[in-house]
Amino acid sequence: MAGRLILKKKWKKNMDYKIKYLRSADKNLSKLPVPIANRIVSKMREYMSLENPLSKAKRLKGDLSDFYRFRIGDYRVVFRIEEDGCLVVLAVVWIGHRKDVYK
């Protein structure tokens, strides 16, 4: 079988999820209009309150296959997953409009 084998990881239900905004994401968020930034932050809190926030995420493809994204209206929140035992940290790398975020 040619190509790369991709294993899907099952996330346990008793995992704890935490969100961490990297400096680049904070900078992106601060440049957005206040109502949009507030909407993104509140939606992220809503996702984090779910039993499995990754159920609302989509894995990116190609060169960005190590990243996931949340869709919040016309904006995308791109993050990577960092595991530490029973803690899963969603490290937000980039926040931007859908037309610009993957460039």
**What's 41's domain CATH number?**
3.30.2310.20
Q: Which tokens in the block code for residue 11?
A: 């996330």
Query: Is 1 part of a structural domain of the chain?
Result: no
Tell me, what's the pLDDT at 1? Answer: 38
CA 88 remoteness from chain centre: 12
Whole domain around residue 51: which residue ranges?
Answer: 16-97
Q: Is residue 6 part of a domain?
A: no
Task: Say if 30 falls within a structural domain.
Answer: yes
pTM of the model: 0.81
Give domain status of residue 80, yes or no.
yes
**pLDDT score for 83:** 85
Count the domains in the chain. 1
Residue 102 located in a structural domain: no
pLDDT by residue for the chain (103 residues), tens only, comes to 344 433 344 445 567 888 999 999 999 999 999 999 999 999 999 998 888 888 999 999 999 999 999 999 999 999 999 887 778 888 999 999 999 887 7
Instruction: Write out the DSSP string of 8-67.
Output: PPPPPTT-EEEEEE-HHHHHHHHHS-HHHHHHHHHHHHHHHTSS-GGGG-EE--GGGTT-
Q: How far is CA 3 from CA 6, 55, 97, in A?
A: 9, 26, 32
| Tokens linked to 52 | 């499995």
Residue 81 counted as domain residue: yes
Give the model's pLDDT for residue 37: 94
